[in-house]
Amino acid sequence: MLRDPVFISDLHLCAQRPRTLARALAFFDGTAAGHAELVILGDLFEYWPGDDSLDAQTPDDDVARTVAAALRRLADRGVAISLIHGNRDVLLGPRFAEASGVRLLPDPVVEQVGGVPTLLSHGDAYCTRDTAYQQFRLQARDPRFQAAFLARPLAERRALIGQARAQSEQEKQRLAAEIMDVTPEAIAQAMRDAGATQMIHGHTHLPGRHAFPLDGREAVRWVLPDWDEDTEPARGGSLAVVDGVLTLR
Ligand SMILES: [Mn+2]
């Protein structure tokens, strides 16, 4: 059971977005500190080349250390922090977890939120119409692939991730919007399998609340916003129980 949680995802923190980083740090010290639990549903970082980023010297590595330290301060104040990997930071590992005081959760996972069994996920697993992406996702989550990748030098990993990001940006412009959104049938099946009537995920950058019938009951799916304070219009926000109801703000 999650006690008084606040949910965020898709902050995409990196040195290139200093205002977004500042907003995230203010959120950790402010809003998040007012909750018993912070739940991060993936893509906290724009990319994560491996936990040895915490020892390295590029501006993005400074961001990694700054964020880990801010989360550690929050954890030390008594806020329980849990994190589900996103597609961009799937390599966040035990050393980051230790440094930041974060508990790593599997994707998906069921937790009670406000007394309702709730499926928590990054969300990319349900974008099943994008078959090329799903193939890539399987590879990126294969432990043998990850081990081989992490055995490469850090600079090489960073370069490979840069290439993959550029390629995926091009792909996104080519694909129709509905292909990049979750598939309703995949969501319904996952909620049914999990015995959940509520779901919270990120990834699609299409924040909102979707109510729909599921096996004769009303089910609700919340989608978290992505964060970007460095382009107009600024985006971001979190989901928490306010006056007894889940609210995006
Ligand atoms: Mn994502």
Q: How far is the CA of 90 from the centre of ligand 1 (A)?
A: 10
3-state secondary structure 16-63: CCHHHHHHHHHHHHCCHHHCCEEEECCCCECCCCCHHHHHCCCHHHHH
Q: Which amino acid is at 201?
A: H
Q: How far is the CA of 69 from the centre of ligand 1 (A)?
A: 23
Average of per-residue pLDDT across 167-194: 91
Reported confidence tier of residue 169, pLDDT bands at 50, 70, 90: confident
Q: How far is the CA of 12 from the centre of ligand 1 (A)?
A: 9
pLDDT of 163 above 90: yes
Q: How far is the CA of 180 from the centre of ligand 1 (A)?
A: 11
Q: How far is the CA of 87 from the centre of ligand 1 (A)?
A: 5
The CA radius of gyration of the chain, in Å to the nearest whole number, is: 18
pLDDT tens column, 39-62: 999 999 999 999 999 999 999 999
pTM: 0.97
The per-residue pLDDT for 174 is: 85
The per-residue pLDDT for 53 is: 98
Reported confidence tier of residue 173, pLDDT bands at 50, 70, 90: confident
User: Is the sign of the CA dihedral 66, 70, 76, 79 positive or negative?
Assistant: negative
**Of residues 22 and 132, more confidently modeled:** 22
What sections of 141-238 are H helices per DSSP? 143-150, 154-174, 177-180, 184-194
Q: How far is the CA of 54 from the centre of ligand 1 (A)?
A: 22
pLDDT tens column, 183-211: 999 999 999 999 999 999 999 999 999 99
Reported confidence tier of residue 178, pLDDT bands at 50, 70, 90: confident
Q: How far is the CA of 80 from the centre of ligand 1 (A)?
A: 23
The per-residue pLDDT for 7 is: 98
Reported confidence tier of residue 223, pLDDT bands at 50, 70, 90: very high
- CATH class of the domain comprising 5-248: alpha beta
What are the structure tokens assigned to 117, written together? 């069994």
Q: How far is the CA of 240 from the centre of ligand 1 (A)?
A: 20
The per-residue pLDDT for 130 is: 93
The average confidence (pLDDT) of the chain is: 96
Q: What is the signed CA dihedral for 103, 108, 113, 115, rounded to 10 degrees?
A: -120
Average of per-residue pLDDT across 125-153: 96
pLDDT of 239 above 90: yes
Q: How far is the CA of 216 from the centre of ligand 1 (A)?
A: 31
Q: How far is the CA of 127 from the centre of ligand 1 (A)?
A: 11
